[in-house]
């Protein structure tokens, strides 16, 4: 799994912006949706001056969704924070890719920092992790992505085609839809991993291959990484719902939309249940693998033991008649050699018959 690592560095200004991500060469692009129930307008490849003009002329009852791809231009992020009146430390948290999922609520601003996980290069295996940040302010949602992805294509189509309730509800409902899309990406990833886990479990039961243990460890690590991303996501949603229920006044997220965030909490619990189920399967695969190896070793030892037992009396007979004493009467027998071989063969067949009767093989 790819992830940005936290770098410990003392700064003169703790809230200064510093890019430490994995995609410093991604082209920067800004998109803006302005919509209401009656109409929508979509803008692409904008600059801040154009965005300012559009927002000033937008209808008062419209919702806005601003999306930025590419986070390595620090000066641009500073200008965006100044333009939308966002605290500098919130903008700095957008670039803090190594931290847990979190939520911050300040007066008229709510900030979410979430982890998005999707399979990549399915033939080669592996998953990729990306942090996506959201800011909800008044009737506008701002989303920040390191690179272009297909997380939100369905939502864009809903806005364009007026499917569902996105054009009828407020901007907090749009935020729910965006977060729900990331949740669906978790399910997509887990479905892909679960198929691989099923194959590993079957191979552990039927094959003797040392690479099975490697595959088990890889999938266990993938599931643990996803679990580490989902647990704080669930905690954030739970705290959000609980705090909202305790308040008498409405918060930035409307009461009508808060119901949907409760559904996200339920989905997070469902994801964790699915992860635990697959981790148990991998534990079972490990047990099957070592049990199969133990049984295989037992079979080998049983065969070797039977062979050794059969040859013990034969070795004794050969040892006795190999002493070459002159007064051994059997040595003078004309057909003594053949009698000895026949006796040895009879001993072998009698022993094999006895072992078979005892069902030792």
What is the per-residue pLDDT across 72-85, written as a single tens digit (0 to 9) for each? 889 999 999 999 98
Token pair, residue 202, equals 């079957």
Residue 56 has pLDDT above 60, yes or no: yes
> 3-class DSSP state for residue 214?
helix
So what's the pLDDT on residue 119? 56
- Sequence-ordered alpha helix ranges (H) in the chain: 48-57, 74-83, 88-94, 153-161, 171-206, 211-246, 255-321, 336-357
Contact status, residue 262 vs residue 183, Cβ threshold 8 Å: no
Q: How far apart are CA 96 and CA 214, in angstroms?
A: 32
HSE-up of residue 272 (Cα within 13 Å, Cβ side): 15
CA distances from residue 184 to 116, 180, 339 in whole angstroms, order as listed = 10, 6, 81
Mean pLDDT of 107-130: 72
Mean pLDDT of 275-280: 94
Contact status, residue 240 vs residue 252, Cβ threshold 8 Å: no
Residue 309 has pLDDT above 90, yes or no: no
The model's confidence at residue 43, banded by pLDDT at 50, 70 and 90, is very high
Q: pLDDT tens for residues 177-199?
A: 999 998 888 888 888 889 999 99
Pairing state between β 140-145 and 63-69: parallel
Mean pLDDT of 106-130: 73
Q: How far apart are CA 28 and CA 30, in angstroms?
A: 7
Question: What is the pTM (predicted TM-score) of this model?
Answer: 0.77
Mean pLDDT of 240-259: 72
Of residues 303 and 121, more confidence is placed in: 303
Contact status, residue 192 vs residue 274, Cβ threshold 8 Å: no
Token pair, residue 198, equals 């099923």
Mean pLDDT of 302-324: 84
> 3-class DSSP state for residue 1?
coil
The model's confidence at residue 118, banded by pLDDT at 50, 70 and 90, is low
So what's the pLDDT on residue 261? 87
Q: How far apart are CA 16 and CA 95, in angstroms?
A: 10
Angle separating helix axes 211-246 and 255-321, nearest 10 degrees: 160
Q: How far apart are CA 137 and CA 171, in angstroms?
A: 9
Q: How far apart are CA 79 and CA 21, in angstroms?
A: 20
Mean pLDDT of 330-338: 76
Nearest of 10, 194, 17 to residue 92 by alpha carbon: 17
DSSP 8-state assignment for residue 100:
P
Mean pLDDT of the chain: 83
Residue 217 has pLDDT above 60, yes or no: yes
């Amino acid at each position: 799994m790819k992830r940005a690592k936290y770098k410990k560095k003392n700064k003169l200004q703790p809230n200064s912006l510093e890019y430490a991500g994995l995609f410093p060469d991604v082209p920067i692009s800004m998109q803006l949706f302005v919509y209401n129930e009656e109409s929508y307008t979509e803008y692409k490849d904008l600059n801040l001056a154009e965005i300012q003009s559009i927002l000033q002329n937008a209808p008062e009852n419209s919702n806005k969704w601003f999306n930025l791809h590419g986070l390595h231009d620090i000066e641009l992020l500073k200008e965006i924070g100044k333009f939308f009146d966002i605290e500098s430390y919130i903008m700095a948290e957008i670039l803090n890719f190594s931290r847990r999922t979190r939520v911050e609520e300040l007066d008229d601003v709510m900030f979410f920092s979430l982890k998005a996980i999707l399979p990549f290069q399915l033939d080669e295996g592996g998953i990729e992790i990306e942090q996506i940040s959201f800011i909800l302010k008044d009737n506008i949602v701002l989303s920040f992505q390191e690179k272009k992805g297909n997380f939100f294509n369905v939502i864009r189509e809903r806005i364009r085609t007026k499917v569902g309730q996105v054009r009828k509800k407020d901007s907090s409902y749009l935020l729910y839809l965006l977060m729900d899309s990331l949740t669906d990406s978790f399910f997509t990833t887990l479905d892909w991993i679960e198929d691989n886990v099923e194959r590993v479990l079957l191979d552990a039961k039927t094959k003797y291959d040392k690479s099975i243990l490697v595959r088990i460890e890889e999938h266990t690590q993938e599931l643990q990484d996803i679990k580490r991303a989902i647990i704080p996501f669930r905690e954030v949603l739970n705290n959000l719902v609980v705090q909202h229920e305790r308040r008498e006044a409405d918060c930035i997220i409307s009461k009508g939309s808060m119901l949907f965030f409760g559904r996200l909490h339920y989905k997070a619990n469902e994801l964790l249940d699915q992860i635990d189920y697959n981790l148990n399967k991998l534990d079972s695969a490990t047990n099957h693998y070592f049990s199969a190896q133990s049984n295989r070793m037992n079979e080998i030892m049983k065969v070797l033991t039977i062979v050794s037992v059969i040859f013990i009396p034969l070795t004794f007979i050969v040892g006795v008649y190999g002493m070459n004493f002159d007064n051994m009467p059997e040595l003078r027998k004309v057909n003594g050699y053949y009698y000895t071989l026949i006796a040895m063969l009879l001993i072998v067949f009698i022993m094999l018959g006895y072992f078979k009767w005892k069902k030792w093989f």
